[in-house]
Chains A and B, each alone.
Chain A
Amino acid sequence: MKTETFYTNSPEETKELGRRVGSSLKRGDVVALLGNLGSGKTVFVQGIAEGLGIKGHVRSPSFTIVNEYHGNIPLYHIDLYRLGNPDELTAIGIEDYFYTDGVTVIEWAETALDLLPPKYILIKFSCTDENIRRIEILSDG
Chain B
Amino acid sequence: MLILGIESSCDDMAAAVVEDGEIILSNVVSSQDEIHKKYGGIVPELASRRHIETVIPVVEEALVQAGHAIADIDAIGVTQGPGLVGSILVGLSFAKAVAYAMDIPFVGVNHIEAHPMAVFLEERVQGFKGSRVQEKNLQSAIHNPQFPFIALVVSGGHTSLLKFNDFGDYCIIGQTRDDAAGEAFDKVAKLLGLGYPGGAVIDKLAKEGNPSAINFTRPYMQDTLDFSFSGLKTAVLNWIKGQEGSSSMMGNAHPATANLAASFQEAVVDTLVFKSLLACKKSSINNLVISGGVACNSRLRHKLSEAAESEGINLFIPHPKLCTDNGATVAAAAYHKLRNGISSDISLNAYASL
Contact = CB atoms under 8 A, between A and B. Distances in A.
Contacts of A83: 43-45
Nearest to A40: B234
A62 interface: yes
Given A59-B177, A84-B39, A65 B238 contact: no
A42 B86 contact: no
B45 A64 contact: no
Interface string A22-40: 0000000000000001100
Contacts of B156: 63
Which of A46, A59, A68, A81 neighbours the largest number of chain B CB atoms within 10 Å of its CB? A59
Band of interface residues on A = 20 to 34
A92 B44 contact: yes
B154 interface: no
Query: Chain A binding site: helix, strand, loop or mixed by DSSP?
Result: loop
B29 to A, nearest CB: 18
Interface string B78-94: 00001110100000000
B84 A64 contact: yes
Contact of B352 (A66, A81, A130): A66
Contacts of B353: 64, 67-68
Given A63-B180, A64-B353, A88-B46, A82 B233 contact: no
A103 interface: no
A11 B46 CA distance: 34
Contacts of A62: 41, 179, 183, 187
A57 interface: yes
A62 to B, nearest CB: 5
Given A83-B43, A84-B39, A92-B44, 18 more contacts: A37-B233, A42-B230, A46-B178, A59-B180, A60-B183, A62-B41, A63-B42, A63-B180, A64-B82, A64-B352, A66-B352, A68-B352, A82-B39, A82-B42, A88-B43, A88-B44, A127-B241, A130-B241
Interface of A: 11, 37-38, 42-43, 46, 57, 59-60, 62-68, 81-84, 87-88, 91-92, 127, 130
